[in-house]
A and B are shown apart, each in its own frame.
Chain A
């Protein structure tokens, strides 16, 4: 496989691009693997990569019912940050951010992680109290954080809404400078290419249609491309976790599937150099500008449960109102497309990377809004869990039984109502 470098790009410029081959193979599924990962999204692919890389396990298949990266990997707003506060989440997302920082080199694939700063605006004096607790926890646990005053913001982000008639005037912002955005599709392809290079079979157009099991184990997976047996099986199918879980006759999960919309405008010349987040009095909005020039943004989920991958107008309207409230100059900028993905919303807004009632089944699910930024650490710790059959200390409470114990990891404090964990 040709290494990606400027050298080879130039060389191929002279040879009519003849030196590039498939970025990952298209193998026929084998009848047996050591590990089968169901779900060729970011989490599944990253898991396969780290299993191969960190544990030298390579008899692995990633099964994808459609095309890799076709689910939420390609539907998110590409924000990466680690400004979580609660134990477990804090360390997990920090690990993820660290992995992101070197991911392009690690994968030899430019995932375009741009550490352009994440700006969490606040609008009241009280909000500074909450922001400062988060600031202090982030700093104390080895991350970076800054508080920018309104006048700092006016200098650094000149086109936000500093008007006097703003409904919620900007007071300041909690800033994480190491946060930013990345090119979402490239991450999926980069992990796929790197995992494939280490010997992982990425099998597309291979839908799991049945699961055979006994009381302790899954014995066989039926797919649209034949039966597959595996020593260990891992689910990483956000949005459809419950369907697969029930296929294995494992009952109910603390997860609901909801629709999260995303939006992009026509490309315009650089207008916004950071990721800006706006949340006050029930409003919820985040925006950045892609390298191509489109303003990429989003807001709340569509409130009702859905597997439909399409959104409705009330959220479109809400989000546009927020957009103008944050950046009034966007009034004549035009929305190019909006789309939707199905996210696993969990009962406390935090994820699951854990063992399951079956000995050889492992679960990675419940990513709520946080799946994209989590993917490197998700793959890292999930691989560790699968390889060692025990969770790392950091994620030991991200299990399905945490609600039985009363160990909620609820960053929002919203309780057992999945739709409120946006």
Chain B
């Protein structure tokens, strides 16, 4: 095969015509601007471009489009490496580096091709039958023998090698809306866009190729196309080239990937490499064309064999004549125009037509152009040359009385195939629209949904250009005359197609490929049938037909027909597997867009974030929040810092950012009733100016959330929630008010982000705040008793203040509008200097709450009841609340449920960790009795302490010897189960 450039015809379709350089396996080659990798390599006489998946057979260019299953390459270097590029679809840019893949040491000489010699043992499904034990009789047990083989199988499998480096390019997401989306810009697509635009609708025309035109580009005469492109400049038509509509999703949503820039040309412009459009349309026209098929005959995968239409594309678009001695094997009319064009370009052309007669019109043209024509003929076998992998000769099959029979041979350097056309109905299939088999046209087709999704042109099975164009116009006509059924019929050839899927002569042996990329052969399909894998889904999975990177675009139907033949049933009964998105493979980077690395998820910063960082805070993650973890002083690590912080707070004064707590305003005449229903404890009589701790259950009676709710006025409450559940509590309240209890007049508003808060805890808390108010008695116990709430000015900053305590100390929570938070904090911190004081973070907060036995998410994990955590007394017997009924189910009331306890090590010098298990001594070989949820060193108690759960709680473990088993840290301790209220159980410190 010696492809050569021919001079382009003189026309006013101007394309750039200059040389560019690219590299093929490191070797510098020259191509023309506008070349694809496939045309560029062909022009440089590269016949072997890829190696097949299983047998490593040499493969050349087999097509000129997305159906390519031979010429797969890797492009780019380093972090820009992109494997498995279909060579006919990728444009060559200056300096592009292209590499062969799945071959070693080189694509021309690949050691892996030795597998081809063993292919008789590698039939479909062979790996299900061996490798599980020691060969040859599969002795042994377990998985180690398989995993030994697997190691080598994995290395042999795979195609290209992906980069190990992060993709440095940028990808964008766009939300696109249009009235009419037209997919495909061939004759039907362009006409559909123009027709739709006439009505004034906004039209988006997308084309996967980097040029618009579709099949126009492959035709020699471009006059009509040039005229049309001028009309496409209408304002309401937007054209996106290099844009693949990869999937059709619900409600007319289409995923588009637009290839925007190539890094070589645009790296300085900071353009994204690709854009992922989520396109919503009112109506979608699928003018996606059709794909020409191959058929199965021996060695139908040799380099030098491609589809007829691809040779036409290479000739008319890339001015590349793919061979000198060309044989065309066809079963339909579509190949004849190409034959004439190839002949005119200087090739010797021979046509084998499987049909026994063709139209006079065609016949005359062929004869007058000195093209040899064999009717009733097809290829039985292709043969390569003595020292060349490319095709040199074919064995002909001829239709005789008893079917196909051998009929001599012909020499050639290129074989072009057209065994029919498959409309591209993938997108319609994504939505599950019916797919039917047309016997007459030997193809599957779909009609969309006839409301919003339409197919036009060859995608609708229409084979002539005028018919295609008319079908696009008809879509909009039918709309005008609702019941007009006079739309274009499928078909359009003078002589009908003669189905041709396989030529198989008993006298000839060899591999006839159905899916060349995966090396699925016709005999694999027959073996699948023999072993009972007769449904298309089974056949696909057993043979891997159609699961390669081209997803069976060319080969699937051959497989179906061979199975149909084996079953002696029509293809329509064998059925078709559902196409799945994406239509062609798409980069994960494009789907992820900018949501990568630090932008993977938003960071929620409290209004005090920067202030805390300036005060040496080390931050930690809490869900999406970033919170101060501890504030180290010089030389302190986490442990030293939190112990100092907790000690200081208990001794004198500590200040903590609590802005992440969920805050919800609950307002309206029925607010009190509402709160009374959602909290387990009574809220009906909460006085104005008071806060109350409450617990919310789920409907199933498990603890959902807890927090304090402050009554600010008669019908105005501020509810606080845990940090983690802020959003779900809000949603829950809205659901209750809008769906379940619409008669309640209550409005809820999330103010989590609007209000910032800080906790001021310790014996000096009141003294500090007294220094900040105008009148000292505003902060007296009488003016602000325990659980008291009021509005107050702290050094002229208006705040809400509540005397509530999570630490167990005399403590206050002060809330201000978020914008005031840094100045409030600064003011408080300045005034705190007068005292022995510190800032404390999440770790010290944890220490103090563990000492007090206060529960958080570690204990309230969605599996705990209110009784489990010892708060059963908070479940009112005198009123109804959510979860009341189901919380008392039999197992939930069992005294043996794990209950919250405090944990001390017997030896007070010992340290231990959360996640350790609680076991009865000597019983450590089954499920544990309990586990440790949270551990801290307690500065107040002078040793390590923990909270945890144990079956039966404190009561039932009194006479048992309980040990802590932490295999992870190799820590096994005698422990003492104590009340969870480990420090100041009487709560005297709350009052200062």
Contacts and interface: CB of A to CB of B under 8 A. Distances in A.
Do A and B touch directly, given a CB cutoff of 8 Å in the complex? yes
Interface of A: 4-10, 12-14, 16-17, 20-24, 26, 66-67, 69-70, 74, 87, 90, 101-102, 104-105, 108-110, 112-116, 123-126, 128-137, 139-142, 147, 158-159, 161, 163, 165-168, 180, 183, 185-186, 189-190, 204, 265-271, 280-283, 289, 291-293, 308, 310, 312-313, 316-317, 320-321, 323-325, 328-339, 403-408, 410, 412-416
8 contacts: A21-B530, A110-B127, A136-B915, A281-B624, A283-B600, A325-B600, A331-B171, A334-B586
Nearest to A283: B601
B595 A110 contact: no
Interface in B556-614: 580-582, 585-589, 591-593, 595-601, 603
Interface of B: 53, 76, 80-84, 120-121, 123, 126-133, 135-138, 140-143, 146-147, 150, 153-155, 157-167, 169, 171, 173, 247, 249-250, 253, 255, 278, 430-432, 523, 527, 530-533, 535, 537-538, 541-542, 544, 549, 551, 580-582, 585-589, 591-593, 595-601, 603, 620-621, 623-624, 698-702, 704, 858, 861-863, 886, 889-893, 913-917, 919, 924-928, 931-934, 965-969
Contacts of A180: 143
A382 B330 CA distance: 57
A275 to B, nearest CB: 14
**B contact face: mostly helix, strand, loop, or mixed:** loop
A125 B843 CA distance: 11
- Counting from the closest, the 6 A-B pairs by CB-CB distance are A413-B862, A331-B167, A132-B915, A293-B158, A406-B889, A331-B589
A262 B309 CA distance: 35
A131 B163 contact: no
Contact of A267 (B128, B142, B147, B157): B157
Nearest to B523: A17
Tell which of B81, B596, B927 has the most Cβ of chain A within 10 Å. Answer: B596
A415 B700 contact: yes
Contacts of A139: 967
Contact of B861 (A109, A141, A186, A413): A413
B135 A7 contact: yes
Nearest to A413: B862
A282 B601 contact: yes
B531 A22 contact: yes
A10 B138 CA distance: 13
Given A142-B925, A267-B158, A8 B129 contact: yes
Given A104-B146, A308-B432, A415-B702, A4 B128 contact: yes
Contacts of B531: 20-23
A203 to B, nearest CB: 13
B138 A6 contact: yes
A17 B123 contact: yes
B250 A406 contact: no
Contacts of A185: 541-542
Given A8-B129, A102-B142, A110-B130, A329 B166 contact: yes
A280 B621 CA distance: 10
Contacts of A338: 580-582
B255 A186 contact: no
Contacts of B931: 133, 136-137
Nearest to B843: A125
Contacts of A308: 432
Tell which of B544, B588, B892, B934 has the most Cβ of chain A within 10 Å. Answer: B588
Given A110-B146, A140-B965, A269-B155, 14 more contacts: A5-B138, A6-B137, A67-B537, A126-B858, A129-B933, A136-B966, A168-B601, A270-B155, A282-B624, A325-B600, A329-B165, A330-B589, A333-B83, A338-B581
Contact of B891 (A102, A141, A312, A405): A405
B147 A6 contact: no
Nearest to B889: A406
Nearest to B700: A416
B83 A140 contact: no
A335 B582 contact: yes
A134 B155 CA distance: 34
A74 B541 contact: yes
Given A167-B601, A281-B623, A416-B699, A271 B527 contact: no
A150 to B, nearest CB: 15
A231 to B, nearest CB: 28
Contact of B138 (A105, A136, A404): A105
Tell which of A10, A283, A333 has the most Cβ of chain B within 10 Å. Answer: A333
B927 A6 contact: no
Contacts of B157: 267, 291-293
A385 to B, nearest CB: 21
A137 B893 CA distance: 25
Nearest to B83: A268
A34 to B, nearest CB: 24
Tell which of B84, B132, B893 has the most Cβ of chain A within 10 Å. Answer: B132
Contact of A104 (B132, B580, B593, B889): B132
Given A137-B928, A140-B917, A320 B600 contact: no
A269 B158 contact: yes
Contact of B700 (A7, A133, A165, A408): A408
B496 to A, nearest CB: 33
Contact of B249 (A23, A105, A271, A312): A312
A114 B146 CA distance: 7
Nearest to B887: A406
B988 to A, nearest CB: 31
B937 to A, nearest CB: 15
Given A167-B597, A329-B164, A410-B862, A310 B430 contact: yes
Given A140-B925, A266-B84, A331-B588, A293 B154 contact: yes
Given A105-B141, A132-B914, A6 B432 contact: no
Contacts of B863: 408, 410, 413
Nearest to A328: B166
Contacts of B127: 110, 112
Contacts of A159: 164
Given A7-B137, A20-B531, A167-B603, A332 B158 contact: no
Contacts of A137: 917, 927-928, 931
B250 A113 contact: no
B596 A113 contact: no
B181 to A, nearest CB: 15
A158 to B, nearest CB: 7
Contact of B167 (A328, A339, A413): A328
B159 A266 contact: yes
B420 to A, nearest CB: 25
A135 B967 contact: yes
Contacts of A163: 166, 597
Given A310-B432, A336-B551, A268 B161 contact: yes
B701 A136 contact: no
A183 to B, nearest CB: 8
B532 A406 contact: no
Nearest to B585: A334
Contacts of B704: 415
B858 A129 contact: yes
